[in-house]
Structure 1
Amino acid sequence: MVSADNLNIDILEAIFSHLAGSDLHSVVLVSKSFYDGVLPHLYRTLTYTIRHGKTFPRCSPFMALLRASALAKFVQHIDISYVPVLQKSISSRPQFDSVFLDEFRQVLELCTNLTTFTCIQNILPSILSGLSKKPTLTSLRVHISDLVPSQAGSLCQLNNLRTLFLDHSSWAMMDALPKWTGSLGTNLRTLALYNCADLNELILERSLPNLPNLANLHVVGCMRIDHIVLFRLLVHTPNLEGLSFTTTTDSSKILEKTSDLKHLRNVAIDTRFSMSSTQPVPAILSDIFFHFKKSSVALASLKIKVSEPQVVMGSGFIEQLLATTAYTLKRLSFIGCSIKLESLTSICKACPQLDRLDVCIPNLTDPLNQARFVDALNRSMTLRTIVDTDDHTAHGAHFVLRQTDVLKLVTDVPLLRTIVSDRKVWKRKPTLRPGVVMERIGSRQKTPTPWFMTTEQLY
């Protein structure tokens, strides 16, 4: 007679893969066979956030693995977003807890099946010996501002990576990048360089030819590499599908002869300028979209982030954007800026495939604003998700989306399914009578995906 206890272990693992963490803790107490089936899922992902840091050293997530080293073979993903500090220093450089770093390094050495590693804290020099010799590692995201040449050389031994994200990279790591990309070769699909002050055109020009299969390139916040330089180097990446870059106030236009971007689908633009600039941001972006149109780019996703607060994108720019991307666009994001309600109406009318829109939601307590906002959204037959990009950093009173506002929105816009605002996710109930369910975006999640990337590109 077949029972749950004598099911094949592979079947149990497949079943338990659909359960959440709290349910897994209960299932593990049922029986020995259930315990064996749950173990790979309980230890598959090791995360450490500020919530865990409050209990250190009284409670350490690494001690269980150090005491039972056989469990380390199940760890495939490590995500460290917080590291305990000994004391708050007057300087900007924190003094990290040496006990934590030592335990973490020992655990890293035990995790022989590691596939993804993320650490946004500047601790890599202290744990580098544990990270080396990981042939199964395919995704790496690290903060490496303090690496010296010998340490950079050790990191370059990781040559099976498909995703590489370097955050605040040191000059030594930038010097070693051409050599590292040479060993990665056809394996690497995603390269992200974020706030790397020492990255220059020569280094990038020597690195990109080594990566013929590169599908996603993100060069953001690297002030020596602007959009003009980057577009000139795209000739080395013929298969590029995702591109992120930083624009500057340079009055020069993109070169007339650049690479063919026929595969490009996802673009994120980090626009940095000053109000006194001779070339305002819409003019810079207009040059870029003109180039996209000439290259017959069919964008599915477009994100625009503006560093200057309280910028309103003009109607003329929106018209040019739609003329270039309207028929293929599925996701559109305006971060750090806003658009007029007339422009919102034009977007919803002109984009037949638009599924998600990230914009600043206007003050819905004003009946006129609410009516015009609802009318704009109803112009789209495909829009399912609205994300509020207002970060509430400006001075003055702020509009906060309440449950009654959300309920009215999903009632007045029947096709709308999800609204995200103020770290809350509102979802329409799957019932005939309109209703919403709210979920909070808490700190228990993994390290947030950078705004210019998607989860698929990162992992």
Structure 2
Amino acid sequence: MVVRNNLNLDVLELIFSHLAGNDLPTVALVSHAFFGAVIPYLYSILLFRLSQAKRYPRVMSPFAAIAVHPEFAIHVRHDQYNPKFLAECSRALALCNNLTSFRCSVDSLPPFISVLQKKDRLRDLRIYAKLTTEQCLKMVGGAAQIRHLTLDFASWNVMNLLPQWAGALRSSLTTLTLFMANELNETVLESALEQLPNLLGLHVIGCTKIDHVSILGLVHHTPNLTALSMTTGDCSARALPTPGTSLANLVHLALDVRFHNQSPAFLGVSSTSSVVLTSIFTHIAASSPSLTSVILKYPDRQNPVTIASSFIQQQLIGAHGRTLKTIALIDCYVDLDVIAAISGSCVGLERFEVMIPMRDLKLFTAALSNSHTLRLLVDANALNTQHPRRSGPSLTQDYLKQMFTAVASLRKVVGGDRRVWTRREDAHAGGFTVGMERKPTSHSAAIHWFMPRE
């Protein structure tokens, strides 16, 4: 007879590989056998949430647990830390020789620089890059096998050394992300990209001296790009370069739409932003890419504009309707007839992120019902991690029941209040039931909004 204590260890580990969250520590309390099998998954990610921090030191941090039990460090693959626990985290990191990813999204990186230099398996690095020249030189020399590099709020010291860092990562780097680096200029960026001909992902967002004209003039250095993110500029000031074929492999495009010369209130539906977006899509079309993912984000979520229907019809549906699987329209409105056109014409659409019109929910649901492939619907309000919607009408179970019925392929809806509604097949309940859980905020800053969705 098979009981919990005589199950083969390999079988237990296979079972536990499908668990996550609170299930892992719960399983660890069952027996010694369960504890031993769940350890590799329990300590794979070191995460310290605000709710735990409020109970510290009564509740031990995972970093302190690693420091007390260094034998667990071999299992750590990912680490997120709170600045209040720098000492414990540094000690834990020093023991985690198998670390593959590290993220520091606040200005607290210096204590970890020396520790990160010794992580030969580190592949994914995201840092708040406000560093001195000396600190940056240590990072350049210590992280030689990085595949995905994200530099947030980089100082001028870091940007001056970007070409040198790119040269050091020439053989390994596949994704370069530069976010809010105001000191970055076109000369420095070109010097870096010249050394990264095999780059697959380039994301340059919120860098005041670099706009889409600059980026499109430099992508000939990176002909293998599959993902591109950029901030729009003013087309009237500088002409786009002559279209080439350097974006033939592009599948993901994200645009940070910025207004120029006119206020958002004046722009309304027919805006200069549509002219800029049309010029970008026309330029890219010369490479004949097969876009599967498009993200557009507008600058003012308090006064969102309505995207021109003609732009959606021609540049998204007309040019890429056959290949698009993900469409995200953030901080903007879309007419219901456009929703219906997207649902009916984008024959492979699986993920749709849009501001759900709560007061026109029935008409919105009817527009979505044109889709036979949509699996995930995300209210774009949920993407604002700092100011999620907390008032006004919300999705209810009755609404979701109607939506799941009308859109048979739909499996999950993420509401603006961060509730996640899931369709659960149940033959005894008339075909399916609707389950709900609260979307955790702990991973809200794990990836930037413009990155490709999983």
Q: Same fold (TM over 0.5)?
A: yes
Q: Does the residue aligned with 1:113 lie in a helix, a strand or coil?
A: coil
Could you report, residue by residue, the CA deviation over 1:270-292 in whole angstroms, capped at 9, with x for unpaired residues?
01115716972111100011112
How far residue 214 of structure 1 moved from its aligned partner, in angstroms, is: 1.3
The answer to whether the aligner puts 1:264 opposite 2:250 as a matched pair is: yes
How far residue 338 of structure 1 moved from its aligned partner, in angstroms, is: 0.8
How has the CA–CA distance of structure 1 residues 83 and 292 changed in structure 2, closer, same or farther, with 3 Å as cutoff? same
1:282-301 equivalent positions in 2, closer than 5 A: 282-301=274-293
Q: Who is 2:109 aligned against? A: 124
1:336-355 equivalent positions in 2, closer than 5 A: 336-355=331-350
Structure-1 separation of matches of 2:176 and 2:260? 29
How far residue 448 of structure 1 moved from its aligned partner, in angstroms, is: 3.2
Could you report, residue by residue, the CA deviation over 1:336-375 in whole angstroms, capped at 9, with x for unpaired residues?
10111111122122211111211111134xxxx3443233
2:148 to 150, 159, 163: 163
Q: Who is 2:304 aligned against? A: 310
Structure-2 separation of matches of 1:163 and 1:450? 13
1:388 to 372, 379, 395: 379
How far residue 155 of structure 1 moved from its aligned partner, in angstroms, is: 0.7
Q: Does the residue aligned with 1:304 lie in a helix, a strand or coil?
A: strand
Q: Does the residue aligned with 2:218 lie in a helix, a strand or coil?
A: helix
Give the conservation status (yes or no) of the 8 Å contact 1:262–1:295: yes
Q: Who is 1:273 aligned against? A: 259
1:142 to 114, 124, 127: 127
How has the CA–CA distance of structure 1 residues 4 and 271 changed in structure 2, closer, same or farther, with 3 Å as cutoff? same
Letter of the structure 1 residue corresponding to residue 251 of structure 2: R
Q: Who is 2:163 aligned against? A: 178
The answer to whether the aligner puts 1:415 opposite 2:409 as a matched pair is: yes
Structure-2 separation of matches of 1:300 and 1:35? 43
How far residue 2 of structure 1 moved from its aligned partner, in angstroms, is: 8.2
How far residue 27 of structure 1 moved from its aligned partner, in angstroms, is: 3.3
Q: Who is 1:430 aligned against? A: 425
Q: Does the residue aligned with 1:178 lie in a helix, a strand or coil?
A: helix
Q: Who is 1:443 aligned against? A: 441
Q: Does the residue aligned with 1:430 lie in a helix, a strand or coil?
A: strand
Query: More displaced, 57-66 or 148-157?
Result: 57-66
Q: Does the residue aligned with 1:228 lie in a helix, a strand or coil?
A: helix
Q: Who is 1:92 aligned against? A: none
Structure with the bigger RCO (C-alpha within 8 Å, sep 6+) is 1
How has the CA–CA distance of structure 1 residues 101 and 290 changed in structure 2, closer, same or farther, with 3 Å as cutoff? same
How has the CA–CA distance of structure 1 residues 343 and 455 changed in structure 2, closer, same or farther, with 3 Å as cutoff? closer
Q: Does the residue aligned with 1:118 lie in a helix, a strand or coil?
A: strand
How far residue 254 of structure 1 moved from its aligned partner, in angstroms, is: 2.0
1:363 to 333, 336, 358: 358
Query: More displaced, 251-260 or 157-166?
Result: 251-260
How far residue 455 of structure 1 moved from its aligned partner, in angstroms, is: 5.7
Letter of the structure 2 residue corresponding to residue 215 of structure 1: L
Q: Who is 2:55 aligned against? A: 55
Could you report, residue by residue, the CA deviation over 1:98-128 in whole angstroms, capped at 9, with x for unpaired residues?
xx22222222111111111112111001222
How has the CA–CA distance of structure 1 residues 374 and 7 changed in structure 2, closer, same or farther, with 3 Å as cutoff? closer
Which structure 2 residue ranges, 5 or more long, are not aligned? none
Q: Who is 1:95 aligned against? A: none
The answer to whether the aligner puts 1:247 opposite 2:242 as a matched pair is: no
Give the conservation status (yes or no) of the 8 Å contact 1:79–1:447: no
Could you report, residue by residue, the CA deviation over 1:164-218 in whole angstroms, capped at 9, with x for unpaired residues?
1111111111111111111111211111111111111111111112222211111
State TM-score, norm by structure 1. 0.88
1:202-217 equivalent positions in 2, closer than 5 A: 202-217=187-202
How far residue 304 of structure 1 moved from its aligned partner, in angstroms, is: 0.2
Q: Who is 1:91 aligned against? A: none
Q: Does the residue aligned with 2:194 lie in a helix, a strand or coil?
A: helix
Could you report, residue by residue, the CA deviation over 1:253-284 in whole angstroms, capped at 9, with x for unpaired residues?
42123442111001111011157169721111
Q: Does the residue aligned with 1:383 lie in a helix, a strand or coil?
A: coil
Letter of the structure 1 residue corresponding to residue 338 of structure 2: S
The answer to whether the aligner puts 1:37 opposite 2:52 as a matched pair is: no
Q: Does the residue aligned with 1:78 lie in a helix, a strand or coil?
A: strand
The answer to whether the aligner puts 1:227 opposite 2:212 as a matched pair is: yes
Letter of the structure 2 residue corresponding to residue 234 of structure 1: V
Q: Does the residue aligned with 1:438 lie in a helix, a strand or coil?
A: strand
The answer to whether the aligner puts 1:190 opposite 2:175 as a matched pair is: yes
How has the CA–CA distance of structure 1 residues 248 and 398 changed in structure 2, closer, same or farther, with 3 Å as cutoff? farther
Give the conservation status (yes or no) of the 8 Å contact 1:140–1:161: yes
Could you report, residue by residue, the CA deviation over 1:401-455 in whole angstroms, capped at 9, with x for unpaired residues?
2222212222233332221112011111213524311121023447432111136
How far residue 10 of structure 1 moved from its aligned partner, in angstroms, is: 4.2
Q: Who is 2:451 aligned against? A: 453
How has the CA–CA distance of structure 1 residues 379 and 254 changed in structure 2, closer, same or farther, with 3 Å as cutoff? same
Q: Does the residue aligned with 2:47 lie in a helix, a strand or coil?
A: strand
How has the CA–CA distance of structure 1 residues 64 and 233 changed in structure 2, closer, same or farther, with 3 Å as cutoff? same
Q: Who is 2:370 aligned against? A: 379
State TM-score, norm by structure 2. 0.89
Q: Who is 2:96 aligned against? A: 111
Q: Who is 1:88 aligned against? A: none
How far residue 397 of structure 1 moved from its aligned partner, in angstroms, is: 7.4
Structure-2 separation of matches of 1:379 and 1:68? 55
Letter of the structure 2 residue corresponding to residue 417 of structure 1: R
Letter of the structure 1 residue corresponding to residue 188 of structure 2: I
